[in-house]
Amino acid sequence: MQNNIQAVKQFLLGLQQTIIDALEQQERLGGVDGSSDSKFVIDVWQRDEGGGGRSAVLSGGQVIEKAGVMFSHIHISQLPASATLRHPKLAGSTAQALGVSLVVHPKNPHVPTSHANVRLFVATPNDGSEAIWWFGGGFDLTPFYPNLSDVKHWHQVAHELCQPFGDDVYQQYKAWCDDYFYLPHRGECRGVGGLFYDDVNTDNTGWDFAKCFAFMQAVGQGYLDGIVPIFEQNKHKSYNEQQRQFQLYRRGRYVEYNLVYDRGTLFGLQSNGRTESILVSMPPLAAWEYCYTPATGTPEFELTDFYLKPKDWLAL
């Protein structure tokens, strides 16, 4: 198992750097606000309990207002409640968790916020039985001023990467994403979805470790295949102050979701994780407005009336 963990670790470190390079390229090419040489600041850290990570954060760019691309490989002496809720027999087990997680908050309201995560858990039960492993992850898109072609492109990428793994994989993990990234107290989805999966192992999918790992690799590459064209289609569009304020208002929903519902945030905090890395997903600026209701027929109204509801996007 240790050889498998090392292979996944090397892939994840390479994926992190590939994404960093692609996002810095978007910054150099510029947008409506110009270009910049803003780069990711790399922070390598160690964890007292074992393991550590490599965090990369870009702030204050002309294209990207804030982005965090985080790699971690941590050792856990006792799995927290957020992990064992679905795996009660593993309560108190030791574990390793490794993955890449990222959130990108663009400056231009016409470019969506995006998120991706790929991870591997390996838990060792206290009774000395064989280690239990599973993969999880996915990606999702949170637009402010969406257009249908971008949403269809995003889901087409998701569909194509899933297809080699089974005809039903896209629909299963798309539906899971729609259900997972949902704010019950607002009655709306966080965005237009994508893919979300967890507990991917031989017992649940029939795939061996190599095939599960191949799916992780496909999702990691799929994020870039999906987001880079969306950046290039939208980052040169002009915007006004009203659109900027709407972007900040909608970012408030992102904060609400991450702090109230996101399992990754809860797991990080409950496992004594590195707070700066856990909360790097927060936008640099966000806003809340009391009882705001967009006017019927406006793009702001269309966002919640049409886009933030689960749909078969590829059929539209």
Task: For the chain of 316 residues, list the mean pLDDT of each consecutive stretch of 10.
Answer: 90 98 97 94 91 96 97 86 67 88 98 98 82 94 98 98 98 98 97 97 96 98 98 98 98 95 83 83 96 97 98 97
d(CA 210, CA 49): 29
| 159 token code pair | 């569909």
SS3 201: coil
| Paired tokens of 43 | 């922070």
pLDDT digits (tens, 9 = 90+) for 254-290: 999 999 998 888 877 877 778 888 899 999 999 999 9
Positions marked active-site: 115
pLDDT at res. 125: 80
Contacts of residue 2, Cβ cutoff 8 Å, sequence gap at least 6: none
**209-234 helix and 148-162 helix, angle to the nearest 10 degrees:** 160
User: According to the CATH classification, is domain 1-315 in 3.90.1150.220?
Assistant: no
